[in-house]
Amino acid sequence: MTIQPFMNVASAAASGASNNSSTKSNSASDTSAAYLQLLITELQAQDPTSPLDPNQMTAQIVSLNQLDQLIQIREILQGVSS
């Protein structure tokens, strides 16, 4: 099992979040990708005697999906109103 350094994942998340020149849908997908990468890294590096709470992880994923859907709805409504 290979564990990626956390700093590489954190810098990728920061660069994805700070890139304001990209479109909003790309920003949302970048945020989703960065979150999933952080989640994978967290799961790989977790303490086997104290694993991550699956309910908390599920709630975070659901919140991220809801945010993505709201962004898509907003973009559709902006396209209709234009």
Q: What is the pLDDT of residues 22-45, one digit of tens each?
A: 455 566 667 778 888 888 888 888
pLDDT of residue 13: 45
Domain extent, residue 19, equals 6-81
Interval 51-69: pLDDT, tens: 878 898 888 888 888 988 9
SS3 3: coil
Tell me, letter by letter, the H, E, C secondary structure of 31-73: HHHHHHHHHHHHHHHCCCCCCCCHHHHHHHHHHHHHHHHHHHH
Is 1 part of a structural domain of the chain?
no
Alpha-carbon radius of gyration of the chain: 16
For the whole model, what pTM was predicted?
0.51
Task: Name the domain count of the chain.
Answer: 1
Query: Among all chains, which residue has been given the structure tokens 């209709």?
Result: 80
